[in-house]
């Protein structure tokens, strides 16, 4: 890859936004990712068409790492998502309508430019700060505030081909997780997929003591007996609803999903080594 050739190919389209984003779709996913971090100042016009990255501190707060380390993980997730979508739905992310549920600062939304037009890209998050950062970074997508315990998604009458949710169900309480999958079911196309990430049982042996002191034995027992283990983060977080904390750390089994989320059918799973504590679960709507 010669980066300068790529910047020049994009510079030809800076006066036509549609053509610019079509040109992005012709590039490999890692090249699209690289563009988010790495455009020299002499290509200012190209740079101004793309979202700015969130400051490193925000990346670390939301995702635990930043810069290229995080970008490599983000691109690996996107490739794993694309591969599973092909395998488990026979469809493609290309040209589809996609929602990032719990989009945070818009880390993964910007990689969707590889697959589809900005008009097809949606993101929601219940934390106003997340959307504020997305908007400050000049992200081109439809963004809206959701609820911590949603009954609907904040996009009335929109049906998505694919909804993905990375590192969100790894944090939700049982009630919040159920509300989320129920709301997503109302907004999925008949032949669409919901893709979430979940943590395995082994997560509890690496759960950081600095996050909160917890009875690991209790988490392991909940995981084994109920299939769902959750420890809340502190009270006073924005995710407290009516005194109940909806956000913390969570592990979920596939059996729990099959037994409890009856609107959905598990059609497959995927892994990627860049984050072994985030298993992708592919769900199709039950009809």
The footprint of ligand SAM (CB under 6 A) covers 62-63, 101-104, 107-108, 125-127, 130, 146, 148, 166-168, 171-172, 176, 180, 239, 246-247
DSSP element (H, E) containing 74: helix 67-89
Q: Hey, what are 240's tokens?
A: 């407290």
* Smallest separation, CB 265 to ligand SAM (Å): 22
* Smallest separation, CB 104 to ligand SAM (Å): 3
- The three-point CA angle 168-174-179 to 5° equals 75
What's the Cα-to-Cα distance from 286 to each of 100, 186, 189, 261, 266, rounded to whole Å?
21, 11, 11, 10, 10
> Nearest CA to 84 among 287, 283, 251?
283
What beta strand segments (E) does the chain contain? 98-101, 121-125, 142-145, 160-165, 188-198, 228-232, 240-241, 244-245, 248-252, 264-270, 279-285
* Smallest separation, CB 46 to ligand SAM (Å): 24
* Smallest separation, CB 241 to ligand SAM (Å): 9
Query: At which residue do the structure tokens 């990255």 appear?
Result: 53
What's the Cα-to-Cα distance from 126 to each of 50, 104, 105, 121, 237, rounded to whole Å?
24, 9, 12, 17, 12
Shorter beta-carbon distance to ligand SAM: residue 54 or 219? 54
Shorter beta-carbon distance to ligand SAM: residue 97 or 107? 107
Shorter beta-carbon distance to ligand SAM: residue 20 or 127? 127
Can you give the length of the chain in residues? Answer: 287
* Smallest separation, CB 45 to ligand SAM (Å): 28
Shorter beta-carbon distance to ligand SAM: residue 7 or 62? 62
- With CB atoms as reference, the residue minimizing the distance to ligand SAM is 104
Shorter beta-carbon distance to ligand SAM: residue 27 or 168? 168
* Smallest separation, CB 106 to ligand SAM (Å): 8
What's the Cα-to-Cα distance from 121 to each of 114, 164, 210, rounded to whole Å?
11, 12, 36
Shorter beta-carbon distance to ligand SAM: residue 39 or 176? 176
* Smallest separation, CB 125 to ligand SAM (Å): 5
Shorter beta-carbon distance to ligand SAM: residue 96 or 146? 146
């Amino acid at each position: 890859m010669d980066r300068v050739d790529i910047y020049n190919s994009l510079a030809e389209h800076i006066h036509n936004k549609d053509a610019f984003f079509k040109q992005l779709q012709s590039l490999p996913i890692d090249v699209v990712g690289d563009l988010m971090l790495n455009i020299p100042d002499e290509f200012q016009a190209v740079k101004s068409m793309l979202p700015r990255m969130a400051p490193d501190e925000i990346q670390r707060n939301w995702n635990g790492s930043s810069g290229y380390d995080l970008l490599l993980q983000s691109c690996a997730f996107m490739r794993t998502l694309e591969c599973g979508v092909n395998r488990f739905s026979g469809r493609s992310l290309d040209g589809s309508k996609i929602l990032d549920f719990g989009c945070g600062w818009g880390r993964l939304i910007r990689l969707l430019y590889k697959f589809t037009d900005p008009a097809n890209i949606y993101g929601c998050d219940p934390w106003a700060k997340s959307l504020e950062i997305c908007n400050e970074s000049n992200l081109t997508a439809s963004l809206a505030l959701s609820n911590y315990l949603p009954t609907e998604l904040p996009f009335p009458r929109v049906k998505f081909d694919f909804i993905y949710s990375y590192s969100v169900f790894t944090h939700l309480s049982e009630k919040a997780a159920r509300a989320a999958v129920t709301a997503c079911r109302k907004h999925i196309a008949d032949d669409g997929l919901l893709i979430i990430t979940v943590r395995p049982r082994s997560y509890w042996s690496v759960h950081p003591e600095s996050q909160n002191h917890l009875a690991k034995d209790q988490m392991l027992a909940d995981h084994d007996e109920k299939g769902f283990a959750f420890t809340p983060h502190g009270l006073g977080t924005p995710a407290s609803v009516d005194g109940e904390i909806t956000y913390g750390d969570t592990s979920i089994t596939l059996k729990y999903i099959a037994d409890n989320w009856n609107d959905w059918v598990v059609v497959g799973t995927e892994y990627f080594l860049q984050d072994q504590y985030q298993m992708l679960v592919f769900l199709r709507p039950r009809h």
